Amino acid sequence: MNKRILMLALTLLGCTHWDTTHTESTLGSRREVGRRLIGSPMVEESTESVLVAGAGGAAARSGGGGVAVGGVAAGHSTIKRTHCVQRADVDYSQTVELTATRRGRGADLGISIPMAALGLLIVAGANSSYQRGVDDYNSGFSSRPPETPTAAFAVGGTLAVAGAAWLIYSVGFLPNGPRPEIAPQTKTWTETTYVEAEGCGLVPGGQASR
């Protein structure tokens, strides 16, 4: 088979390619781009329990001997915090980096490998049959020499070469060209949440009180 014709056929049949419709995405850090306060500020209270542990001991000695006594004390303390908060719609923005994916490799492998294997089986089968015919002729079991299986060799050889070339071309040269660049996209959304606010008449900064 002409090498140029074979390469043209492989170029047309090769399945591995860069796909910009099915992409892999990488998310950047989200940024707050705006907020809209809703309603009036309100006081929010939260409590936090803190475990407090301590250790102590005493010793007494008498007549050169001694006894040591030790202990661990544990308790908890509750801290109450007040905050001034207000409901708000917060707008966020996030950059999404898109990367083209490689697709079609499985199809190339699934066709080229069986094709090459089939070609080798055809060649091997034809050669085995031919050798048996030669042995029968040389042993006198057949009066006519076997014909060389030219057609089978041609078909099997073509399939084997085409399958091997397809496999090498796919793995070594496809997809064509570098991975295409895709312009990044921006993802925007809004979340409704409570944010720190002013105007509740609390101590500065919502200081903790016990």
**pLDDT, tens digit (0-9, with 9 covering 90-100), for 142-151:** 888 899 999 9
Question: CA-to-CA distance for 155 and 146, rounded, in angstroms?
Answer: 19
Model confidence band, residue 54 (pLDDT cutoffs 50, 70, 90): low
Alpha helices (runs of H) in the chain, residue ranges in sequence order = 3-13, 105-139, 150-173
Mean pLDDT for 166-191 is 93
- For residues 24 and 185, the answer to whether their CB atoms sit within 8 Å is no
Q: Taking 60 as the threshold, does the pLDDT of residue 64 lie above it?
A: no
Query: What are the Cα distances from residue 107, in Å, to 13, 20, 54, 62, 170?
Result: 10, 18, 70, 91, 10
Q: What is the pLDDT of residue 137?
A: 87
51-70 mean pLDDT:
51
pLDDT at position 75 is: 61
Q: Residue range 106-132: average pLDDT?
A: 95
Length of the chain in terms of residues written = 210
- Give the residue-averaged pLDDT of 131-145: 88
What is the reported pLDDT for 7?
Answer: 59
Q: What is the dihedral sign for C-alpha 163, 166, 168, 170? A: negative
pLDDT band at 197 (very low <50, low <70, confident <90, very high): very high
Q: What local confidence, expressed as pLDDT, does residue 66 receive?
A: 46
State the Cα–Cα distance between residues 113 and 165, nearest whole angstrom.
10
pLDDT of residue 4: 63
DSSP state of 181: B
pLDDT in tens, 65-110: 444 445 555 566 788 888 899 999 999 999 999 999 999 999 999 9
Measured between alpha carbons, how far is residue 90 from residues 72, 84, 145, 197 in Å?
A: 49, 17, 90, 14
